[in-house]
Amino acid sequence: MVSGHSEAGQGPLPTAVKILVAGGFGAGKTTLVGAVSEIRPLRTEETITEESTGIDDLSGVERKSTTTVAMDFGRITINSELVLYLFGTPGQDRFWFVWDELALGAIGAVVLADTRRLPDCFPSIDYFERRNTPFIVAVNCFDGAARHDPDEVRAALDIDASVPVMLCDARRKESSKEVLIALIQHVVESEAVSV
């Protein structure tokens, strides 16, 4: 007989983990996801009823407006037991409750920064700092953008010295891999993770 949920360490199903890729509009989130994903980035949608988040009451349903929030994501099969999903966070700042769902149980987050529009990534950094979600900042080196010293970016962003800041090219697989590895190493080194 089949049970609805297989137990940890049993059964044929792999366990999934996730990393969030955040940053301002056009910072290269989906590009980074696509550079390392084994599938073409997919898009999933949540239909949000604006006034009913967290409320089950269906009375007055006709007065509520619904909004669709789209999330792009990719997949990396780590081994037969483990799959990594990369979620680009929805850019619209007002959909924080979708971020809450995404951030729950996440390994951590990569905040992609575009030095031409550095303030665009402030809301992401604020969010992860407030939530104590481990994150690193990856400066996406677009063609034509002036190269910056990571320390200058750190100073401009006013982030803690313990948060890694690195340069990357989100179009390149190797570079994007390094960003993800740097995030996980940061988590392993800085957090009191269980063995």
- If one asks whether residue 43 binds another protein (CB under 8 A), the answer comes out as yes
- If one asks whether residue 83 binds another protein (CB under 8 A), the answer comes out as yes
Of 79, 130, 161, 162, the residue at the interface with another protein (CB under 8 A) is 79
Binding marks (x or -) toward another protein, 13..42, rule CB under 8 A? xxxxxx-----------------x-----x
- If one asks whether residue 145 binds another protein (CB under 8 A), the answer comes out as no
User: In angstroms, rounded to a whole number, what is the distance separating the alpha carbons of residues 132 and 114?
Assistant: 23
- Looking at beta carbons only, is 92 or 185 nearer to another protein? 185
- Looking at beta carbons only, is 20 or 153 nearer to another protein? 20
User: In angstroms, rounded to a whole number, what is the distance separating the alpha carbons of residues 111 and 27?
Assistant: 9
Q: How far is the CB of 167 from another protein (least distance, A)?
A: 18
* DSSP code for 115: G
Left, alpha or beta for 155 (phi > 0: left; psi -120 to 50: alpha)?
alpha
Of 26, 75, 118, 150, the residue at the interface with another protein (CB under 8 A) is 75
Q: How many angstroms separate the Cα of 105 from the Cα of each of 20, 165, 179? A: 11, 23, 19
- If one asks whether residue 129 binds another protein (CB under 8 A), the answer comes out as no
- If one asks whether residue 96 binds another protein (CB under 8 A), the answer comes out as no
- Looking at beta carbons only, is 156 or 184 nearer to another protein? 184
User: In angstroms, rounded to a whole number, what is the distance separating the alpha carbons of residues 14 and 1?
Assistant: 20
Residue 134: burial class (beta carbons within 10 Å; 0-12, 13-18, 19+): buried
Binding marks (x or -) toward another protein, 48..67, rule CB under 8 A? --------x-x---------
Strand partners, 167: 139
Measured over all CA atoms, what is the biggest interatomic distance in the chain, rounded to whole angstroms?
A: 62
